[in-house]
Amino acid sequence: MNWLKSVLNHLLVGLLNALTYLPYPALVHLGYGLGWLAAHIPSERNQVVKKNLQLCFPELHNEEISSLAATHWRLLGRSLVERSIIWRGSAAQLNQMIEVRTAVDLSDRKPRILVNPHFVGIEGSIIISALANERNWPRTSGFFQRMKTPFFNQKIISWRNRFGGNSIERQGNMIQLIREIRDGNFVIIAPDIDLGIKDSAFVPFFGILTNTITAVSRLAQVSNAEVCIMSTTLKADGSGYLCEIREPLADFPSTDVIADTAFLNRQIEALVRQRPAEYYWVHKRFKNRPSGESSFY
């Protein structure tokens, strides 16, 4: 059956390539349709989305949770279809689709970490790489989590790096990341994901003790880097994405890694509350629990 899997993989790559030729409004509406369909098909991920929303917004009634979940799926469907451009499109297409607004000079080569929370538009950070040569920005480095399918693991790495980016495997490459930061290259980290209890701490997120990696604080301390929040969100008019890079966090890092990690969670929570439907609720954010607590899922 390996030959069949290979054929299907190549067909999917062909589909991604074909989607890049569609007019952008057609991609948006196709994504909305797929998201609507996903919201109405019973699945484990549908249950995960609703459970996460119930945990984080206990003040909402069941009807409000269902409505918010449906909107989330609609936007997630849109963002997944648009990744055809993010992964396979040209620099010109990315430039047209994603607007960048930055409160810092990205060409100054200061040691800098960009914290990019898991909104549905997270892959929009590729625009930083796509515009690097044009705007005299340094290259972008970021963690990647190895995929289960070797074919797409290698494909997505090459797609993300096609404008000069540098994908670094998450496991065991801290020294390489420190070198990138000290050289003045961007390092993008998305810390709001449960990767297991190693190098993590349980700190509040929406009032829930949540397993959170401590890498941002530790890296910033070692490399003497400033830390900026970067978010990529969907424009309400359907015209694309807005990538915003904010001012460096004041008095960060401190000497307390746990306090820093909790502080970052508060920053991310504030952003989520502004755009709750766009957060990546399909992830089991509360998968690992403190000792003695039962699973939410």
Contact between 190 and 163 (Cβ < 8 Å): no
Contact between 264 and 216 (Cβ < 8 Å): yes
Global pTM reads 0.91
User: Is the per-residue pLDDT at 146 higher than 90?
Assistant: no
User: Is the per-residue pLDDT at 124 higher than 80?
Assistant: no
- The H-or-E segment that residue 140 falls in is strand 140-144
Count the neighbouring beta carbons within 10 Å of the beta carbon of residue 296.
15
What residues have CB less than 8 Å from 203, skipping those under 6 apart?
209, 210, 212, 258, 261, 262, 265
Domain boundaries, given as residue ranges, for the chain: 2-278
* Position 211 confidence tier, pLDDT thresholds 50, 70, 90: very high
pLDDT in tens, 160-189: 888 888 887 766 577 888 898 999 998 899
- At residue 135, what are phi and psi to the nearest 5 degrees? -110, 10
pLDDT in tens, 260-293: 999 999 999 999 999 999 999 999 999 999 998 9
Across the range 64-73, mean pLDDT stands at: 97
Q: Measuring CA to CA, which residue among 293, 244, 282 is closest to residue 79?
A: 282
